């Protein structure tokens, strides 16, 4: 057997370079490179390997959590067909990535995390930054990645790279199971040599199938739709991941079934499409929520049905409402006791469109959706032009950004009061135009995510809308953007603190406690001096 002697770290980078992905006849190199911050836990291993492989681009970040957000946004704008790796040292460098891992996993977006780990040999233990457990030597802080990873492994020997990397790629390229993949790399093992089979590093193509639905399930779904008087689609992020927006549009045009959009699904239809009711749920439009209350059949497409989308399961009000779900993921496809149409969103929509040939909703139902669409757009126009003074309202700021941006540009946001307002008010003209990280709603995603979005789509302008709270939590990746010559348009909304949570607190009778930016009054000992800035 032909072999090649490499350290574990060299083998990992050599393998990552050779991974390709294919869907619909389009082939891409899966990894666009590796973000990293070095410490003693990775500098001599992955650090050396990256230095020796300049054709696998290394990106320097300022914070480990942020670099995972950048990788997550990159994967999202790449429709999960490309990804970035992230390497960290051991200890705090590694645990800084845990929040990023959770954000990626909750949003079902592929990122490969390579945290350094404590010495496998244990001869030097406890090494600097090692967590010592009194009951086991087989624990390190990297165990914290287990619940937030879709695949987790620790490589105690260099030859374990072979099964571990193949499993990592299986999960990263799986449309059903993807998310954060963590390979914890003990710092001594990273630098250990092994004779790897040369074949392991040959070009490997990961084929992404478009899983067709079960024929009987399609027949039953068509029957449910035929007998429904008031069907409604809930479009989620899966529509965009699957590249199914054209198939959705054809289905809606043929059947007249209107569409409400989740945060991840906004952009599934352009805002002016007559069947587009826009945002649904807790932050939904009037039309979407009225039609959801009356709908007797909900067709969920690529949605996780989170509590904002369903207004905590209150938005669907018909006493006999039924569900039919289209999803590649077994957990999601069975939600709400729905009829499961397990498969790729585009493939299922095409099958359903054919099965429903000649059928459509009553003309008055179609007209009702169109009227709600037009009425909502008038409301958006009113809010865009409120002329609130002396400072503009948040809605007017959103309107100004919307009007200044081109249809193909991206607005990007994650937490605070902006996501709810954007969900209702942003006129989405392109399927990538609306980028909300609202699965984890992680403050700090905004600017770091903006860097990743722009890396994936350099031809688009990226408008990062960020509250002052999120900005103060994590804005240092502006430096990374400058380093990479990446242009971001950052719109910072300063309302002196956590206005969204302040509003919640007031509604609960807690008077905004701890949510405004105040200063210590030394006389009372409390935070209460206003306008100290
Ligand atoms: C990392 C993280 N910590 C805490 C929260 C809880 N949280 C949600 S919104 C918010 C306040 C956001 O403030 P800001 O960015 O200024 O937006 P605003 O509410 O003022 O619009 C907080 C603390 C969160 N979502 N993420
Ligand atoms: Mg604020």
Give per-residue pLDDT as tens, 216-225.
Answer: 999 999 999 9
Report the atom number in ligand 1 closest to the C-alpha of 502: 19
Whether the predicted pLDDT of 531 surpasses 80: no
pLDDT (0 to 100) of residue 306: 97
Q: Using CA positions, which residue lies closest to atom 5 of ligand 1? A: 443
Residue 409: per-residue pLDDT:
98
What distance in angstroms lies between residue 426's CA and the mean position of ligand 2's atoms? 19
- Burial bucket for residue 408 (CB in 10 Å: 0-12, 13-18, 19+): middle
**Alpha-carbon span 359 to 73, nearest angstrom:** 39
**CB of 470 closer than 6 angstroms to any ligand 1 atom:** yes
CA torsion angle 232 273 418 237 (round to 10) = 60
What is the structure's pLDDT at 484?
98
- For residue 387, the SS3 value is coil
Atom of ligand 1 nearest to the CA of 414: 25
Residue 424 to residue 279: CA distance in whole angstroms: 6
What is the pLDDT at residue 462? 98
pTM, entire model: 0.98
CB contact burial 478-495 (16+ within 10 A = b; e otherwise):
bebbeeeebebbbbebeb
Decide: 191 and 44 in contact? Cβ < 8 Å: yes
Overall average pLDDT of the 91-110 stretch: 98
- R_g (Cα) of the chain, nearest Å: 25
Q: What is the pLDDT of residues 268-300, one digit of tens each?
A: 999 999 999 999 999 999 999 999 999 999 999
User: Does the CB atom of residue 467 touch ligand 1 within 6 A?
Assistant: yes
Q: How far from each other are the two terminal CA atoms of the chain, in whole angstroms?
A: 69
Q: Is 498 in the pocket of ligand 1 (CB under 6 A)?
A: yes
Measure 283 CA to ligand 1 centroid, in angstroms.
Answer: 16
DSSP 392: P
Confidence of residue 381 (pLDDT cuts 50, 70, 90): very high
Any atom of ligand 1 within 6 Å of the Cβ of 469: yes
Instruction: Count the neighbouring beta carbons within 10 Å of the beta carbon of residue 471.
Output: 20
Q: What does DSSP assign to residue 497?
A: B
Mean pLDDT of all residues in 171-179: 98
- Residue 31: per-residue pLDDT: 99
The residue-averaged pLDDT of 408-424 equals 98
412 bridge partner residues: 435, 464
Distances in Å between the alpha carbon of 47 and those of 38, 52, 64, 191, 529?
A: 7, 9, 15, 10, 48
Does the pLDDT of residue 423 top 60, yes or no? Answer: yes
Mean pLDDT of the chain: 97
Q: Is the pLDDT of residue 533 over 80?
A: no
3-class secondary structure per residue, 6-58: EEHHHHHHHHHHCEEEEECCEEEECEEEEEECCCCCCCCCHHHHHHHCCCCCE
| Interatomic CA distance for residues 184 and 54, integer angstroms | 23
268 closest CA partner among 41, 429, 142: 429
For the cut 80, the answer to whether the pLDDT of residue 530 exceeds it is no
Q: Which neighbouring-strand residues pair with 22? A: 27, 207
Question: Ligand 1 pocket, 442 CB below 6 A?
Answer: yes
- Specify the DSSP class assigned to residue 460: S
415 Cβ closer than 6 Å to some ligand 1 atom: yes
Probe target for ligand 1 pocket from 391, 416, 507, with the most ligand atoms within 8 Å of CB: 416
Atom of ligand 1 nearest to the CA of 417: 21
For residue 390, whether the previous peptide bond is cis, meaning omega lies within 30 degrees of 0, is yes
Determine whether the shortest distance from the Cβ of 500 to ligand 1 is under 6 A.
yes
* Ligand 1 center–CA 516 separation, angstroms: 11
**Strand intervals (E) in 43-186:** 58-60, 83-88, 111-117, 151-154, 180-186
Distance CA 507, CA 166 (A): 51
Does the Cβ of 70 fall within 6 Å of ligand 1? no
Cα(500) to centroid(ligand 1), Å = 7
Report pLDDT for 417: 98
Residue 393: φ, ψ to 5°: -75, 165
Res 528: pLDDT: 87
Residue carrying structure tokens 């209150």: 314
CA of 103 to the centre of ligand 1 (A): 15
pLDDT at 532: 52
Which ligand is the nearest neighbour of the Cα of 421?
1
Residues 387-403 pLDDT 10s: 999 999 999 999 999 99
* Cα separation, 80 vs 447, whole angstroms: 20
Query: Helical H runs in 356-393?
Result: 363-384
Which ligand has its closest atom nearest to the C-alpha of 469?
Answer: 1
Ligand 1 atom closest to residue 473's alpha carbon, by position in its atom list: 1
Question: What element of type H or E holds 400?
Answer: helix 394-404
Tell me the average pLDDT across 505-509: 96
């Amino acid at each position: 057997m032909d072999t090649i002697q490499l350290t574990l770290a060299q083998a990992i980078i050599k393998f990552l370079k050779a991974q390709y992905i294919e869907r619909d006849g389009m082939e891409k190199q899966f990894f666009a490179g590796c973000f990293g911050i070095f410490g003693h836990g990775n500098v001599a291993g992955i650090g050396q390997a990256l230095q020796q492989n300049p054709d696998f681009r290394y990106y320097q970040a300022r914070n480990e959590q942020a670099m995972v957000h950048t990788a997550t946004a990159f994967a999202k704008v790449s429709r999960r067909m490309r990804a970035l790796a992230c390497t960290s040292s051991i200890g705090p460098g590694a645990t800084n990535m845990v929040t990023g891992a959770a954000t990626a996993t909750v949003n079902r977006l592929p990122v490969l995390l390579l945290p350094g780990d404590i010495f496998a040999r244990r001869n030097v233990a406890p090494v600097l930054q090692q967590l010592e457990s009194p009951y086991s030597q087989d624990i390190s802080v990297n165990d914290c990645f287990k619940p937030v990873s879709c695949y987790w492994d620790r490589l105690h020997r260099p030859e374990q790279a072979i099964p571990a990397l193949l499993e990592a790629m299986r999960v990263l390229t799986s449309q059903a199971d993807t998310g954060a993949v963590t390979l914890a790399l003990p710092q001594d093992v990273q630098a250990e040599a092994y004779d790897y089979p040369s074949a392991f590093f040959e070009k490997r193509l990961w084929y992404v199938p478009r899983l067709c639905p079960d024929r009987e399930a399609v027949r039953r779904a068509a029957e449910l739709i035929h007998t429904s008087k008031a069907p409604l689609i809930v479009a989620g992020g899966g529509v965009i991941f699957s590249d199914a927006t054209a198939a959705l549009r054809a289905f809606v045009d043929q059947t007249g079934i209107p569409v409400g959009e989740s945060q991840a699904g906004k952009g599934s239809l352009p805002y002016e499409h007559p069947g587009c009711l826009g945002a649904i749920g807790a932050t939904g439009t009037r039309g979407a929520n009225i039609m959801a209350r009356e709908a007797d059949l909900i067709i969920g497409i690529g949605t996780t049905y989170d509590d904002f989308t369903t207004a905590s399961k209150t938005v669907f009000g018909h006493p006999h409402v039924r569900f039919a779900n289209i999803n590649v993921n077994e957990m999601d496809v069975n939600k709400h006791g729905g009829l499961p149409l397990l498969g790729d969103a585009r493939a299922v929509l095409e099958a359903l469109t054919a099965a429903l040939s000649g059928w459509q909703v009553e003309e008055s139902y179609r007209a009702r959706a169109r009227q709600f669409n037009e009425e909502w757009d008038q409301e958006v126009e009113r809010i865009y032009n409120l002329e609130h003074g002396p400072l503009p309202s948040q809605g007017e700021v959103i309107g100004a950004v919307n009007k200044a941006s081109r249809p193909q540009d991206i607005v990007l946001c994650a937490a605070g009061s902006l996501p709810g307002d954007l969900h209702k008010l942003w006129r989405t003209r392109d399927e990538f135009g609306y980028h909300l990280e609202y699965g984890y709603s992680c403050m700090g995603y905004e600017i770091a995510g903006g860097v990743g979005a722009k890396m994936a789509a350099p031809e688009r302008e990226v408008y990062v809308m960020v509250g002052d709270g999120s900005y103060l939590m994590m804005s240092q990746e502006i430096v990374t953007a400058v380093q990479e010559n990446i242009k971001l348009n950052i719109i910072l909304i300063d309302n002196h603190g956590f206005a969204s949570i302040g509003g919640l607190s007031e509604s609960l009778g807690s008077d905004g406690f701890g949510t405004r930016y105040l200063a210590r009054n030394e006389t009372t000992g409390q935070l209460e001096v206003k306008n100290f800035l």
